Structure 1
Amino acid sequence: MDLSQAPSNAAAVELVSLTKNYGDGKPAVDAINLRIASGSYCCLLGPSGCGKSTTLRMIAGHESVTSGDVLLENRNITDLPAAARGTAMMFQSFALFPHMSALDNVAFSLKMKGVDTATRHQAAGQLLERVSMSHLAQRKPGELSGGQQQRVALARALITEPKVLLLDEPLSALDPFLRIQMRAELRRWQKELKLTFIHVTHSQEEAMALADTMVVMNHGTIEQMGSPHEIYNQPRSEFVARFMGGRNVLAWCGALITVRADHMQLHAMTDRVAPGSQSLTARITDIEYQGTHVLVGLQAQAAAPQATLSELTVMVPENRFMAQPFALGQQAQVAWSVDAAHHFTSASVSTV
């Protein structure tokens, strides 16, 4: 492609009509266009089979491109081998060599380039110190915890001095407590290093905690991209609203709307609903205590002619639920303000 008219403030990574077709029907990635700002943390998010990992592998050079282009700082890298791209990959399994020490794992790529032992060990040692692992430099992967292995894998990826770090589900193998700790460290490292991170995950919570920009994918296409706040509060389609969770989708007065579960209120049938609110009658089908709040599942009833039957979830603060508890099978009123309802801008239908 002709890059002569490319802007000077180029994105770190740009995908132009990027397509991957395995020849078995619908493309795994279908002509997507995406610009990722330099120095940003971007998360590719979506259900299994949506094309997010395939996209990451095409950026890395581990998957061939059927058509389209991958640009890094305005340089077309589509046909370059992985080692010549200026990217580094951090895999889900960490892929550390079990027979090597942490130091030698980090230094391995420099060894393959012919760098002498003293020089590569010095560089590897500096990176292990940066990720707080210098005291365990001589341990082998089997002698390290999951979080420690991840730090070694990160140092190994950084030793090539990449312009873009690619992370393929890097936290999925960790326990929940460590996952929260490590995502905070990833975010800190990204800011300190001023690198562009592109992180693939299926976890909505993880993406919202880490990303400057979220890219929600579905069936090989981009459903929506934007900040976590924008995507959570202004989903463009039913798919995005349902996939992100914490929202109810219902047909109301002939239109499809979505309302956050924590923006709905639950009232007894004898209560008065606040003036100006919209409400419907529903039967309680599930009650789940979550500590700070109680998740109440309901099945909407056909009491209001402007609403269709729908399954709903209302997030009730713990103190409010305990002051006025509800029971399974009980009928209740679900209410929300007009301003809390969000109308979709895309007709995309959910398949979650």
Structure 2
Amino acid sequence: MIYERCRALNIPHRKTGKLVVATDAQKSYIEKLHEKSLRLSWPPHAQPSNPDITVLPTELISGDEARRLEPDLSQDISAALWCPETGILDSHTFMESLEKDIMDSEGGELAYETRVVRVDPYRGEGNSVDIPEEEQGWVVQTLTGDANETDAFLVRNFFNASGLSGPFILNSLLPPEQQIPIYYARGSYASYKGPGIGGVSHLIYPCPYTGPNAHAFESLGTHLTVDLNGKVRFGPDLEWISPPSELDASSEGAIDFWTRHLVPSDSRLVEMHQAATRYLPQVQLEGMQPDYVGIRPKLIPPGGGFQDFVFRVDYSSTEKRKGPMVSLLGIESPGLTSSLAIAEYIVEDLLGP
């Protein structure tokens, strides 16, 4: 789907392929990934014309075969999962194309510098907003820029795709015992120039560390990415952070906290280098430089395992199952490149015709 859009709109992209590399002790992990890919089926609304087309083609290959693709891989790598359909794109051009689609659509509008300040279910009764009683949905109040007054909208379908703020919006509607706890982790990337990556052209992912519990990993590991200009980065790593609970989200102290944690630093380079050399042993610490940092939306606390891509549906009228609010929670990478598939899944499968 995304390749079709890139080709149709001339969005720069390249199908690089991806290797998930494994040592002898990690083979079972990629074998399970391969088995899972074989079990995937096409959704009813997207059946291919050729029934033999695989949803997610993958192939288990030997360590020697992986080194023929990427010669600098460690000799300790004894197997790999080859994912030929993985690729990269120009993210800014892609997002601009989505923006243009909205602006060019009938009734489409984007409100910049606008935040949601309140959401209330509307059931057509006992509401002070002047809207028809037969409507079911949500009253969404927003504040734009430096305005002193909010704007209110009635929406029949409300999509809570607000990233790190997603749980806050949902929790404002839930009783305390049902609210979703929020955890934060800092993810850093380091750019790299130096030996040990000669002619690298594929994305390379290590197997995540699972520890004694095979399902308890918290991150997919510090992997190698390459952009359309050939720039190599390692990341993201995982560093749990805890914002002071007494800070108001808009307070000066809160802003200082997040600003401080969004500044790239060299404090993580040694650990990132150690992670990279487990599969690319000739990578040198001196060639790594802090590149950029992001905050990762975590739904599970440290040591609690791994959970992402949660799609939750709540209704303004539970009895009538009308006025759906779809919350997208824990959407980590690759949220951007899977955005079209996410939208299709919500419209066609989750909400249905």
- Class of the TM-score when normalised by the shorter of the 2 chains: under 0.3
Larger radius of gyration: 1
Using the size of structure 1 for normalisation, the TM-score is: 0.22
Using the size of structure 2 for normalisation, the TM-score is: 0.22
